[in-house]
Structure 1
Amino acid sequence: MARATTSQKKKRGGRPGGRPGAQRARRVTPGDWIGGARLRTLPLGVAPVALGTGVARANGSWDLPLALLCLAIAVFLQIGVNYANDYSDGIRGTDAHRVGPARLTGSGSVRPRIVLRVALVFFGLAALAGVVVVVTTGYWWMLAVGAAAVVAAWYYTGGKRPYGYNALGEVFVFVFFGLVATVGTAFVQVHRFPADAWVAGIAAGLFACAVLMVNNIRDIPQDAAAGKRTLAVVVGDTVARALYALFLLLPFLLLVYFGFLYFNAPYVYFVLITAVPAAVIGVTGKTPRELILALQLSSLTALLFGLGLGAALFF
């Protein structure tokens, strides 16, 4: 029995993160897959759609089925990105020494091909919802926008030269989970590009940058060792923490714009009750547990801000 155990260990130690075996893959639980979806990041898909729909309503028109389709696109794309990131980082060995929750591929719990297929399924679901939006509205040029979103999602950590490994991850989330998601949601409902949508999109994009930044601050030593040059790695711990706080709090400065135009908008400042503790923990936290808490509070802040301001614009 001892020899068999030693042999198994040797087989699994052939590459960073372990070699996923069939026996281990059979033991994966639904909880593992839910963890792989990284539910704490899903508010980054919900918030811009809530903001865009609120802007549409404030500008005289809104469409519930289209809003729900936009929500499906954003959430499916977010989950697809998360699984694709799990796959790409796992096969590169980037997750071999991570300090956060274990990943499906890097831990050897699931075969890489299976994780890749799941990522592609969610990208496909996002694309399908996008096609329905295009057919419904007749804006065929939006197919190019959707294709760009999926391609950008894949090459965040996929491909030979992933831009997420070259300090451009924040650019991706700002553009696609901020501007594109918010302005696109408003556009398909009101058929124009209201100024409110762009300001709201900037706020949503900043929150997405904050969540990504605090996540990467936690992994600076591991990412640097693995050759993953995130923005946090490039600028260093101190500057990264300052940028995180800036990303997280700047949306509340933008809220002044909405306060002058909409009576209920100032009530959204109540969300500072989660934003301020998140910023303090993110700037001063020393342990991975503290930085994970900052990430969770940042996601909650993005969700409350998006739902709160969306409701203020809607009603």
Structure 2
Amino acid sequence: MQPTDGTAPASPGPLVVAALSWADPRAVVDPLSAEVTADARAGASAADRCALEHALRLAPLLGGRCVAVTVGPADADLLLRDALAAGADEVLRVDAPVVRDPADDGDTTAAALLTGLARVYGRAPDLVVCGDHSAGRGTGATPAFLAARIGAAQALGLLGVSACDGVVRALRRLDGGRRERLTVPLPAVCSVEPTLALRRGPLASVLRAQRAEVPVVPWEEAAGSARPGVRAGAARPYRPRARLLAAPPGPDARARLRELTGADVRPAARRVVFPDTPAEAADLLIRHLVERGYLEGPPGPGDGESF
């Protein structure tokens, strides 16, 4: 049970967090208003359920407790109650609308998760286990931002995670069917592939989870420590900078206009050259650019040695 002041009692053991993503695999977009609505089948992906299973196994091996955390609306309480039924010690939800800012690159979500954990538990997690990919068409950068914010080691594409004598050991997939064994120091952020099925909780745990109260941290308070994002402006065609031209002399306005627009200038005849060497071709190209005024400086007397 959580204390009434919103803080959890201090624990000497490691804090193992299962970061679960509340995602809608089949979002519906209105073709006229572009409004996105969530489906009732929204929930955790297979990779996130595997991450929760790994967190449930690692917490007792490390002598700590397992906390399931998610960022989502009130409907995400169902996901957290499933985690309680499976054996999670505690849960936490950062309240957020169904559809957040599409410009969020993952740093805002990472800041919200860590701020919520710090408010309730007064500390940063020792181990974060999350899914290798999400069904919500996100950037997949949230684990990297989590690791950067808490100064943790990060391991990606893991097929299995275990712990022995307080050390996390992982098996990672490599190209060509190879495997790599890792020793990951704590604190760490581990992203796992969906290789395990989440355990089914007994009936008594399921009934208790349905009546459990899910602690909630407001989104505005949790996301306030995120760094401001960078937004790109509207795309527009390239417009070259205007060139300053001297006014042509003469009293006749028509003559000055024809001289200014080059109407009386005959176009240069097409010239085709066949240089013998690449160096000679480069010299001819540079000399042509100088004659046209694209490069400064007259051509040198030799074979382009001044260039």
- TM-score > 0.5 by shorter chain: no
Q: Which has the larger radius of gyration?
A: 2
Which TM-score applies when normalising by structure 2?
Answer: 0.29
Q: Per chain length, whose mean CA-contact separation is higher, i.e. which structure has more relative contact order (CA < 8 Å, sep 6+)? A: 1
Structure having the higher strand fraction is 2
Which TM-score applies when normalising by structure 1?
Answer: 0.29
